[in-house]
Amino acid sequence: MVRDPIEEEFLWMARYPFHPLTRERVFGQLQGSIEDLEEFYSDAVSRLGRALAGEKPVLDENPHRSLVVFYTTVLLVKYLDNWLVERRFVEYEAERAYNYLRMADTDEILKVFKGMGIDLKIVDKRYGVYFRDYIQATRDLPPNWKMIYFPMERGYVYLNKKSLARIGKEVFKDEIIKTIESVESVPSSIGEAAKVLVEAYSDILERLRPQATSIQTRDVERFPPCMKYLYANIGKGLPHPGRFTIVTFLHKMGFTVDEIISLFARTPDFNERVTRYQVEHILGMRGGKIKYDVPSCRKIKSFGFCFPDEICVKHRIRHPLTYVKKVARIGEPGGS
């Protein structure tokens, strides 16, 4: 059967809608017409709903539609701005693409990995991943994924197809986050779709609501390294994601709004009224009354503030609050 190369390419993009090659070709155009996506809202709500419910990904959707539905779902996730919703979505989409990757032929595998900047080569039917890419891809996987447990030769870690697909899934997660982060604006009408989703999945969203953090600390030495960095640099004027991250974290650690504002007083262009508005907005006391959560490690990494220490690596920390809990339990760093 002769395949239409354009159609083939389209099918490929639908399988990996978050892939840099897809983003480059499609999403720039879609970002320019976000107000025309209303007909895809109900499919986006279903897609995100399946993710929230922890259902298995659907693979046989209409590929032509599915690509736009994915992008619309990304807009919905961006609008909701809740890291637990985002995590479910990221997991769902990564699993979906992973299912395709497991069935992929060698050419497709090479295109997927190389397009994501992964140094991959094939030697004797094994897939060699350059060790740096391997370490980055497996940083959230359990310790039995250390590179030393696989064959290694001159900088490459050799995997079978199944293991390669598994680490591909991890790289997909980073790419999905990047896709969400690349959204510059969301359509004004998407709030209605979000309402439908919140109503339909209220029980799941309630369960997903993070438990109140019982463990709090004001000892900066016990903060995760990302927060130590942000805390130390508050006075120098952090970029927006940094301010957002440290405000949500400090609040979880029991700092009051006034205490947080006083920390920002060290910035050269400090304006108390503006800072108070921003802090209260982040903490859900103003505006849309959305209370933002502390971002996950994956997201903090995408912001460029992730400087993991031994505890992060050893315990595969995925969220800054988990770090605080872990330190409280094991008594490091700073001792008891």
Partner 1 sequence: MASQVDHRYIERLFRAYYSGEVAEKIFHSAPEPEKREWAFLRLDGPMVRHVKLTSIDDLHSQLDPPPKGIYYSLSTYEYPDYPMPDKQRIKTDVAFDLDADHIRGAVLQEVSRCKSCGWIGEGDVCRECGGEVRKIQLVDDRTIKSISGEVSRLLDRLANYLDVDIDRLRIFFSGLRGYHIHLEEEPYRSLDSVERIELKDFLTLDGVEIHHAKEPDSAIIRILEECRDVLSEVEDVSVRQVLESLVNSKDNPRHFTSIRKRLGEDRVLRERVSRTVRELCGVNIDPVVVTDMSRLIRAPYSLHGKSSLIKTPLDMEALEALDPPVIALASPSNNMVKVHVDYVPHLIWGGREIPSIHDEDVILPEPLAIYLVNMGLAQGLRHV
Interacting residues toward partner 1 by CB under 8 A: 131-132, 135-136, 139, 143-144, 146-156, 163, 232-233, 307-310, 312-314
Helix axes 41-52, 83-103, angle to 10 degrees: 90
Q: Name the minimum Å distance from CB 128 to partner 1.
A: 11
312 Cβ contact partners less than 8 Å away, ≥ 6 residues apart:
224, 225, 297, 323
Decide whether 17 or 225 has the Cβ nearer to partner 1.
225
Which CB, 46 or 136, lies closer to partner 1? 136
CB of 211 to partner 1, least distance (A): 28
Report which residue type is found at 94. Answer: A
Measured distance CA(281)–CA(266) in Å, rounded:
20
Which whole-number Å values give the CA distances from 140 to 19, 67, 174, 279, in the listed order? Answer: 20, 28, 11, 31
Q: Where are the alpha helices (DSSP H) in the chain?
A: 5-15, 20-22, 28-31, 41-52, 63-80, 83-103, 106-115, 131-137, 161-182, 190-200, 202-208, 225-232, 240-252, 257-264, 272-282, 297-303, 310-314, 320-330
Nearer to partner 1 among residue 81 and residue 309 (C-beta)? 309
Can you spell out the DSSP letters for 122-136?
Answer: EETTEEEEEHHHHHH
CB of 213 or CB of 302, closer to partner 1:
302
Q: Which residue type occupies 201?
A: Y
Q: Which is nearer to partner 1, 97 or 227 (CB)?
A: 227
Nearest distance in Å: CB 244, partner 1: 21
Which is nearer to partner 1, 53 or 307 (by Cβ)? Answer: 307
State in angstroms the smallest separation of the CB of 136 from partner 1: 7
DSSP state at residue 27: I
Q: Is 68 or 234 the residue whose CB approaches partner 1 more closely? A: 234
Q: How far is the CB of 189 from partner 1 (least distance, A)?
A: 41
Nearest distance in Å: CB 298, partner 1:
13
CB-wise, 16 or 134, nearer to partner 1? Answer: 134
Q: How far is the CB of 308 from partner 1 (least distance, A)?
A: 5
User: Is the N-terminal amide bond of 308 cis, ω within 30° of 0?
Assistant: no
Minimal distance, residue 215 CB to partner 1, in Å = 24
Nearer residue to partner 1 within complex by CB, 54 or 143: 143
Question: Residues 220-257, buried b or exposed e (16+ Cβ, 10 A)?
Answer: eebbbbbbebbbeebeeebeebbbbbbbbbbbbbebeb
Phi, psi of 128 (to 5 degrees): -95, 120
Q: What is the nearest approach in angstroms of partner 1 to the Cβ of residue 233?
A: 7
SS3 158: strand
**Residue 106: both structure tokens together:** 């060698």
